[in-house]
Amino acid sequence: MANKKLKSASAVILRAREHESYGTLVWRRFRKSKIAILGGLMVIMLIVLAIFSDFFAPYDPVRLNMRSGYIPPHRVHFIDAEGKFHLRPFIYGWKQVLDENMFPKWVEDTSKAYPIYFFVRGWEYKLLGFIPMNIHLYGLKDPEGMIFLLGSDKFGRDIFSRSCLAGRISLSMSLFGTIISVAVGSVLGVISGYFGGAVDTYMQRFVEFVQSFPQLPLWMALAAIIPDTWDQFAVFVVMSSIFALLSWTLLAREVRGKVLSLRETDFVLAAREMGASDWRIIFHHLYPNTLSHTIVVLTLTIPTIILAESFLSFLGIGIQEPLVSWGVMMREAQTIQTLGFNIWIISPVFFIFIAVLGWNFLGDGLRDAADPYTIL
Amino acid sequence: MISYILRRLLLSIPLLLGISIVSFAIIQLPPGDFATTYQNFLINQANMSPVDAEKAANEYRKIYGLDRPVYEQYLNWIKGIVTEGKFGYSFAYKQDVGQLIAERLPRTLFLALSAHLISTIFGIVIGIYSATHKYSIGDYAATVFAFIGTAAPRFFLAIIAVYFLVIELKSPYVNRFVSPEYSFAPLSWAKFVDILKYSWPVIVIAGFGGIARNMRVMRGNLLDVLNMQYVTTARSKGLREDVVINKHAVPNALHPIIMYQGTVLPYMLQGELEAAIVLNMPSLAPMFYSSLVNQDIYVSGGFLLIYSVLLVLGNLIADVVLALVDPRIRLS
């Protein structure tokens, strides 16, 4: 009899071991949402482009080349001017002619075609900062021509190459800022929810106080006081902290609510009865349970910071040259003449767009997946 | 209700005081002041010798109290606001900041509230359509539209608007709020139409993201409500579908939208800020930006304060409206 009981108990334990972990459950639900997968792919694509930007960039993104300033984006052709098909894609150069109103106008110079080659040798760089290489994804072998898939800027730098490089700043700054805000938000949220009482009251008043600041105007005011003379790294860290400063409140509130409801549950009481310290209860039992919320808030805070950073940099009070972010690259669009003649200088916006959309899709998918025990 | 509103207003006073202290501290933080800008101007534009320019700058500081300790400047500033309604002196515009705010705040409010209005109306209508035509082409189109609305940087939309208005259409209705002939005219229908001709791009751009947000919230809520049993009951009573939706489902799906209004107003103000700076619409926004750049401290401080007041008021109004619509909610 006793033996039988023992057997069934061990069977229960065995079955429990076969249970899928929380991670597997989340992944299973996440996988079902096509749009979340798409978002994840968009984000990964941008991160890869940013990390290996030198490889994807046909030209050195920081070298000035005054002879090729403001060239429109080249069109990739397969069929030439005579209607013949070529397997290898090629481009035509641009030349400027005057139209009937004597305004300059760009037309393709079909007299010479420049075939595009893949894995060509070009400018020297160090992959990941230490592997010397000179191979690039695509480029021209003809030294007379240049290829600008998104056009070139005032100083003749390839906008595509620069956009890949700018991804490093734009993505890492938003990630860094979000991580700071998540760290602050979850620590304060857990403390506030766990200890309750006066600590909680003061903390919540403080959260309300921070929340009543107008976000964008305050960001502008804070970014405007960063002196131009600071070195790049300091500007980067301070800008990230500025963004973190106002965005931790949302998470602090959510974590607090979650901890408040978990504090009285049986497993926490049991842990306390067994003599677990406050730290152990917080970090072993409470904090892991708020992690799903944290990750969702993280993915949804990043796009907000990307948008704000690009706007501030566009105004010229955020990131400054020689650092590049997507917003910095669009600065020239402030002058109406420049914009009117060279509309392609706003093309970095596509990168912003993909980044924001990707993180939002990912965040939405994670939000649905973070609680895999409910039935949708 | 009235006592609740009064209590909230009283509670917001220490809040705003705190905000004003922090704002003022931030604005005072960078090295130099407007006198430095003035000094550089004298050296570069007026060919004054650096020694003379510095002397002039110091005199300037003395006249406007810029040489006083920061806390004294702050106290004077607050005293002016509370006792005389004066928000300090704008060095760049050579007048009281209160006057600038009085001139420009109504414009900002008009732009932000119009954006708010269109975002609410269109958001709700499109949301209802999406929820009642789930997975139709129209629903997918609305979803795509919503994603564009949340992901497109508003300053980029404003750049596109500038490009089309100025370069393609050569529209004369830019860079102003109202045509010169209406500048001093009393408000009339013709003036209103004239204002709209200038301001519609800002309103549309600021409202665009709001439409997308409201639409998604409305769609989700209405879908939840349509699954509830009382809706099935209403249908099985034989009510017409439009009555079921408009009379039974929609009013209950509206609550989260109203709860949301507290956060939508700041979103609209931010949208207005971005769009108006790029489109150079003479509202608070471009002036705030330029004051940050040339350290016109009282303008920056006053405007930050005004934005905070709007935020606090917006939250209060949202709470009150929610309590009015939903009798289950008690104000306390």
Structure confidence at residue A3 as a pLDDT band (50, 70, 90): low
Q: Give the domain ranges of chain B.
A: 32-85, 105-287
Residue A2 has pLDDT above 70, yes or no: no
**3.40.30.10, 1.10.287.130, 1.10.3720.10, 3.40.50.11860: which CATH number matches B105-287?**
1.10.3720.10
Q: What's the mean pLDDT in B277-291?
A: 87
Structure confidence at residue A14 as a pLDDT band (50, 70, 90): low
Residue with tokens 């519609």: B200
Residue A339 has pLDDT above 60, yes or no: yes
Residue B187 has pLDDT above 60, yes or no: yes
Structure confidence at residue A374 as a pLDDT band (50, 70, 90): low
Which residues, including other chains, have CB under 8 Å from residue B208's CB and lie 6 or more apart?
A: B119, B149, B152, B154, B157, B271
Structure confidence at residue A11 as a pLDDT band (50, 70, 90): low
What is the CB neighbour count within 10 angstroms for residue B33?
22
Q: What's the mean pLDDT in A144-168?
A: 86
Residue A331 has pLDDT above 80, yes or no: yes
Q: What's the mean pLDDT in A200-209?
A: 87
Residue A375 has pLDDT above 60, yes or no: no
Q: What's the mean pLDDT in B229-245?
A: 87
**DSSP letter at A343?**
G
- The percent of residues in chain B predicted with pLDDT above 70, rounded, is 98
Rg (CA), chain A: 27
Residue A376 has pLDDT above 60, yes or no: no
pLDDT for the residue numbered A43: 92
Shortest alpha-carbon distance between residue B79 and chain A (Å): 22
**DSSP letter at A74?**
P
Alpha helices in A85-196 (DSSP H): 159-195
Q: Label each residue of A190-250 as H, E or C.
A: HHHHHHCHHHHHHHHHHHHHHHCCCHHHHHHHHHHCCCCCCCHHHHHHHHHHHHHHHHCHH
Q: Which of B92, B22, B11, B6 is nearest to B305 (CA)?
A: B22
Q: Which of A69, B306, A296, A90 is nearest to B298 (CA)?
A: B306
Rounded to the nearest angstrom, the gap between the alpha carbon of residue B278 and the centroid of all alpha carbons in its chain is: 15
Nearest CA in chain A to B304: A217
A215-229, A358-372, B52-66 — most confident range:
A215-229
User: B293 and A317: CB-CB below 8 Å?
Assistant: yes
Name the residue facing B153 among A214, A343, A352 (closest C-beta).
Answer: A352
CB–CB of A257/A239 below 8 Å?
no
C-alpha pair distances (Å), B78 with each of A244, B19, B242, B297, B307: 29, 12, 56, 13, 16
pLDDT for the residue numbered A6: 62
Structure confidence at residue B331 as a pLDDT band (50, 70, 90): low
pLDDT for the residue numbered A176: 92
Can you say whether residue A135 is alpha, beta or left, with left for phi > 0 and alpha for psi between -120 and 50 degrees? beta
Residue B332 has pLDDT above 70, yes or no: no
Give the mean pLDDT of chain B: 82
Name the residue facing B308 among A212, A310, A346 (closest C-beta).
Answer: A212
**CA–CA separation, B137 vs B146, rounded Å?**
14
Q: What's the mean pLDDT in A11-28?
A: 69
B329 vs A119, higher pLDDT = A119
Q: Which of B201, B226, B259, B216 is nearest to B123 (CA)?
A: B216
Q: Which of A92-96, B140-144, B323-327 has the lowest mean pLDDT?
A: B323-327
Structure confidence at residue B10 as a pLDDT band (50, 70, 90): confident
pLDDT for the residue numbered A41: 93
Our CA angle for B260, B103, B300, nearest 5°, is 70
In three-state secondary structure terms, A119 is strand
Residue A44 has pLDDT above 90, yes or no: yes
C-alpha pair distances (Å), A177 with each of A223, A241, A308: 14, 6, 12
**CA–CA separation, A262 vs A269, rounded Å?**
10
Residue A145 has pLDDT above 60, yes or no: yes
Residue with tokens 């259409």: B169
Token duo for residue B307: 């934005």
pLDDT for the residue numbered A48: 92
**DSSP letter at A152?**
B
Q: At residue A94, what are phi and psi to the nearest 5 degrees? A: -100, 145
User: B307 and A330: CB-CB below 8 Å?
Assistant: no
Give the mean pLDDT of chain A: 83
Name the residue facing B30 among A216, A225, A346 (closest C-beta).
Answer: A225
Structure confidence at residue A10 as a pLDDT band (50, 70, 90): low
Q: What's the mean pLDDT in A179-207?
A: 88
Q: Note the pLDDT tens digit of each residue in B23-74.
A: 888 877 777 677 777 777 778 777 777 787 778 788 877 777 777 777 888 8
- Chain B CB contacts of A340 under 8 Å are 163, 166-167
Name the residue facing A346 among B156, B166, B289 (closest C-beta).
Answer: B156
**CA–CA separation, B84 vs B86, rounded Å?**
5
Rounded-to-5 percentages of helix, strand, coil across chain A:
60, 15, 25
Nearest CA in chain A to B274: A311
**CA–CA separation, A328 vs A309, rounded Å?**
9
Residue type, A116: I
Residue type, A71: I
Q: What's the mean pLDDT in A88-111?
A: 82
Element (H, E) at A30: helix A22-32
Does the N-terminal peptide bond of residue B286 adopt cis geometry, omega within 30 degrees of 0?
A: no
CB–CB of A219/A246 below 8 Å?
yes
- Chain A CB contacts of B273 under 8 Å are 216-217
Q: Which of A2-6, B177-181, B237-241 has the lowest mean pLDDT?
A: A2-6
Q: What's the mean pLDDT in B131-136?
A: 84
- Chain A CB contacts of B27 under 8 Å are 221, 225
In three-state secondary structure terms, A136 is strand
